[in-house]
Structure 1
Amino acid sequence: MSIALPHPPSLRGPLPRQVVRFAVVGASNTVLTFIAYILLSAVMPAVAAAVLGWAVGAANGYRLNRGWTFASAARGLGPAGRYLVVQGLAAGVSAGGVVVLGGSVPHAVAELVSLPVASALAFVLCRAWVFAA
């Protein structure tokens, strides 16, 4: 007689796989944004370099999330515009968290608390709205 033990959740299912891929894409966006910022800030003002660096990361995120994370056939300005809206909302949640929590904890701690909330919001909106089937 044998006892069947429950199997741990698999990363082969669509939702867990998408969460992991979304995190990998987010990490690659961060690296690309930082590298672009460093290179661009050597030849232009820091604010302009930051904006263009963010654009590089956002373009990478759109491309990889559309094709790899969510395997979406969505093309054109509609999904791209929705993606920019989601990125703006997530940035606002992150900045808002820093403002709200910044008076009671160090700003870095406030960002560490806000970032997972902003990332979770971005994931849900990308999955349900930007790249929905």
Structure 2
Amino acid sequence: MKRLITQFIQFGAVGALNTVLTYIIYLILYQHISPTLAMAVGYGLTSLLGLALNKQWVFKQSGGEMSWMTFKYYATYGTTFLLSLILTSTWVDVLHFPAAWAPLFSLAVTVPVNFLLSKYWVFTQKGVRIHASKNSPY
């Protein structure tokens, strides 16, 4: 259980780092290119960093089919992105939560879902060795 909590905290740290770096890249670029393109560039670059950090640092995976892992990584993020849109819409339009708070409620669902999909689907492949402590079932 301790390993799972540690991984969740590390996963959150990678997400926080990516968020900050995406914003910095956006601030640098948006005056020179469209804001949408600036955000896309920032997200694209930091998502690659997130893939690498989650693979090596959080889930400590060596080997594996990188193209399949990359597909699953982006499929997971796409799925949780759509889930966040659905949840945000539900919080605001159906349950009448304050719009300013709705994304935070969505994050409370999507971050754990994203973590679980990453841990048990993206970074787990048949025949790939996952480094873990001897006492950990993970």
State TM-score, norm by structure 1.
0.85
Letter in 1 for 2:9: V
Q: Identify which of 28, 32, 40 aligns with 2:17.
A: 28
Tell me the amino acid that sits aligned with residue 51 of structure 1: A
Q: Distance in 2 between matches of 1:90 and 1:57?
A: 17
Shift of 1:108: 2.0
Any runs of at least 4 consecutive aligned residues in structure 1 with deviations exceeding 6 A, and if so which?
Answer: none
Counterpart check, 1:122 vs 2:111: no
TM alignment of 1:1-133, pairs within 5 A = 13-73=2-62, 74-103=64-93, 104-132=96-124, 133=130
Quote the Cα distance in structure 1 between the aligned partners of 2:80 and 2:87: 11
Mark the runs of 5 or more structure 1 residues left unpaired by the alignment.
Answer: 1-8
1:66–1:72 contact (8 Å) kept in structure 2: yes
**Partner amino acid for 1:66?**
K
> How well do the aligned residues superpose, as a CA RMSD in angstroms?
1.4
Change (3 A) 1:61 1:79: same
Structure 2, unaligned runs of 5 or more = 125-129, 131-138
Higher CA-based Rg: 1
Count residues with an aligned counterpart. 122
Partner AA of 1:84 in structure 2: Y
CA contact (8 A) 1:21 1:69 kept: yes
Cα distance in 1 for partners of 2:81, 2:55 equals 20
Residue 97 of structure 2 aligns to a residue whose secondary structure is coil
Q: TM-score, normalised by structure 2?
A: 0.82
- Separation (CA, whole Å) in 2 of partners of 1:79 and 1:95: 24
Q: Distance in 2 between matches of 1:35 and 1:112?
A: 21
